[in-house]
Amino acid sequence: MKKWECNVCGYIHDGEEPPETCPVCGADKSAFILISDDESSSEEKAQEQQQTETNTASSDDSAEENNAQTDFTTIKDKIDKAIIDHHLHPISVHIPNGVIPVAVFLLLAGSLFNNESLINAAYYNITFVFLFIPVVLYTGYVEWIYRYKKALTGIFKAKISSAAAVAIISAFLSLWKSFSPEAGGAFFILLHIVLLGAAGIAGHIGGKFIFKK
């Protein structure tokens, strides 16, 4: 059985032919490369192994040469490298994704029981999300550039759109409440629920990339 790897997200497919589209990232058939063929002869496998080692060595040399040229000499380069090496995007995403449900719960409870303290607590949580979301967006941008090769399939567009929605809605809600302390009502609550949904969609898509499912 042949094994094919998506060179965008790393998904592995077993079959005689690669899938028409990657079930994880949506890349088309041309993004898949053959990484294993159990039906190949021993000689063919040895040749493939030798070619793979040659390509790997060549890639390593090229990477070292590129690193020698750019070798993270600027502060931005070093930050980007740390983001990729230490998986800072998945880590940072967990923060707003944990805070937003709490904010929505506090707002609903505060509105139901007419408790201004709970409503204010929801506001503080949303403001924290608004202030922290640039970290999430930047680390996500770096991952998209370096790990996913700027792919713009439908699923990447959906993730980018949902992340943008979280940023815009959290900013709007925070500023609205800041300039109008009496802000509330059905539309105010609805925006919080939409914010929660957008964060959930972004998190779900991110999980597909991590777990390759």
Q: Residue 61: what pLDDT? A: 52
Quote the pLDDT of residue 69.
47
Q: Check residue 37 and give its pLDDT.
A: 78
Report the predicted TM-score, pTM, of the whole model to 2 decimal places.
Answer: 0.81
pLDDT at 109: 98
Provide the pLDDT for residue 55. 47
Q: State which residues of the chain have pLDDT below 50.
A: 40-42, 52, 55-56, 58-60, 62-63, 66-70
Residue 38's pLDDT is what?
A: 66
Other beta carbons less than 10 A from residue 86's beta carbon: 11
